[in-house]
Structure 1
Amino acid sequence: MTMRTLAVMSLKGGSGKTTLSLNLAGAAQRDGGPIVLADADPQHSLSEALASRAPSAPYSCVPTALSKLFQFKQECQRQGARMLIIDTPPVLSADLSQAVNFSDLCVVVARPTILDLNAAVKSVRMVSRLNGRVALLLNQVPHARQGIETPLVRNAIGALHAAGIPTSDVIIRSRAAYQYAASRGCSVLEAGGDPAAEDEMLSLWRHLQERMQEQPALGVG
């Protein structure tokens, strides 16, 4: 069985990249097989959040560094992992470029704010220059009002489209459930209690699976 690799990226801190990595692992484990989270952010927030998990947890989290990613990925393959999710650091570097080359898909995470969007555009263009497959995900998005997105969200989507960067088919809303689950060292799918958040994350996971399986169709999307 071929191991898939997903890199979660943002060149700006506070985008929710680490929380998203955790929740994607929770969604991925629903499909079975060993899931590995590579905590390559030097702050190792993900490892700290999951430190109390039992060894029998449905996915494992290992602190590492982007410079060690090649060997790390090989070891995961030898161990029979089905999915590797990399939480990358918020810095532009040669090692980050290698992470793009090692991944089947790069998920660039951005909140709908001008600072996040500027960083996201840089990330997407970097991945595209390296011929990597990329999906831009709007995260921590305010809830729509009577089915209509807020001006903040509409303007963000419009700015991205004007830059030639379409957003993912799924957006992640700002929900307390994500922070609550992370504080317990688990995903919203494990914590339960918020069906909307669970459906949202499963929908995102299905979308990303489809993107990873595209042939070869590299570029923005």
Structure 2
Amino acid sequence: MPTIAVISQKGGSGKTTIALHLAASATQAKQPACVIDTDPQATAAAWGDWRGDFYPLVVTSPPARLAKTIERAHKQDEVDVVVIDTPPHAESAMREAIKAADLVLIPSRPRAFDLHALEAVAEMIEFAGKPAYVVLNAVPAGATRQIEEAKETARKFGLKTCPVSFGERADFHRSSAKGEVAAEIDATGKAAAEAKKLWTWVRKQIS
């Protein structure tokens, strides 16, 4: 069963938004997903509570129990994909998530302070030898130069950049507050399209 870790040293990078939309897009594509929330703030778990008994499932786990939680998720007959949401500034949690993952996604806003935080993550990725990609998030409209500079910064740290990015979209914020995802409030919107494209790309990496 494919396991995707979403990690970042920087708070506010969009880890939970990307993890939930990725899991929901997998579920909508007939591959039901489980999100494992290892963040003590339990933002993904709160979203799951608001959502109710609908996929993707959201469960919580302390980092030390992550392997066992993934093992239990594997035993769920209907779960095809596991997505791990991690806290910022928590190297032990990130290391456990990287160790368990088949693919690592590193959300980052295309801003200097956010991109600087990639350096520490890059060192962990290099040590683990896992495939990993930076996912640019909250990208302003028309920020072509910013995107290229962000990609160059990632390259300097030895990281690849995912070809799919998330723009600064109101639908991402509006949907999260309702226990939904962007496609459920506007299936034809740009946010919904970006989430679907990200899952399509991820599926190719893990197939």
Range class of TM-score, shorter chain: over 0.9
C-alpha displacement at 1:169, in angstroms?
A: 0.9
Residue 62 of structure 2 corresponds to which residue in structure 1? 65
C-alpha displacement at 1:194, in angstroms?
A: 4.8
Residue 51 of structure 1 corresponds to which residue in structure 2? 49
**Regions of 4+ moved over 6 Å:** none
- Take 1:155 and 1:33, find their aligned partners in 2: how far apart are those partners? 35
Structure 1 pair 92/83, CA: closer, same or farther in 2 (3 Å)?
same
- Take 1:178 and 1:83, find their aligned partners in 2: how far apart are those partners? 21
C-alpha displacement at 1:47, in angstroms?
A: 1.1
- Take 2:71 and 2:153, find their aligned partners in 1: how far apart are those partners? 39
Equivalent position SS for 2:196: helix
Give CA deviations for 1:119-160 in whole Å, capped at 9, x if unaligned.
Answer: 12321331121111111111100111xxxx343333222322
User: Which residue of the other structure, out of 148, 151, 155, is the alignment partner of 2:149?
Assistant: 155
Paired residues of 1:21 and 1:85 also in contact (CA < 8 A): yes
User: Which residue of the other structure, out of 75, 83, 87, is the alignment partner of 1:78?
Assistant: 75
Equivalent position SS for 2:50: coil
Equivalent position SS for 1:20: helix
Normalization by structure 1: what TM-score?
0.87
Residue 219 of structure 1 corresponds to which residue in structure 2? none
Structure 1 pair 162/120, CA: closer, same or farther in 2 (3 Å)?
closer
Q: Which amino acid in structure 1 is aligned with residue 190 of structure 2?
A: A
- Take 1:29 and 1:207, find their aligned partners in 2: how far apart are those partners? 15
C-alpha displacement at 1:108, in angstroms?
A: 0.6
C-alpha displacement at 1:45, in angstroms?
A: 1.0
Equivalent position SS for 1:50: helix
Pairing of 1:189-208 with structure 2 (within 5 A): 189-192=183-186, 194-208=188-202
Give CA deviations for 1:156-196 in whole Å, capped at 9, x if unaligned.
Answer: 22322344433111111111110001111111122225522
Q: Greater CA deviation, 122-131 or 6-15?
A: 122-131
C-alpha displacement at 1:9, in angstroms?
A: 0.6
Give CA deviations for 1:179-214 in whole Å, capped at 9, x if unaligned.
Answer: 00111111112222552211111111111111123x
Q: Percent identity?
A: 28
Q: Which amino acid in structure 2 is aligned with residue 77 of structure 1?
A: H
Residue 216 of structure 1 corresponds to which residue in structure 2? none
Q: Greater CA deviation, 156-165 or 44-53?
A: 156-165
Normalization by structure 2: what TM-score?
0.92
Residue 102 of structure 2 corresponds to which residue in structure 1? 104
- Take 1:95 and 1:161, find their aligned partners in 2: how far apart are those partners? 24
C-alpha displacement at 1:110, in angstroms?
A: 0.4
The reply to whether residue 185 of structure 1 matches residue 179 of structure 2 is yes
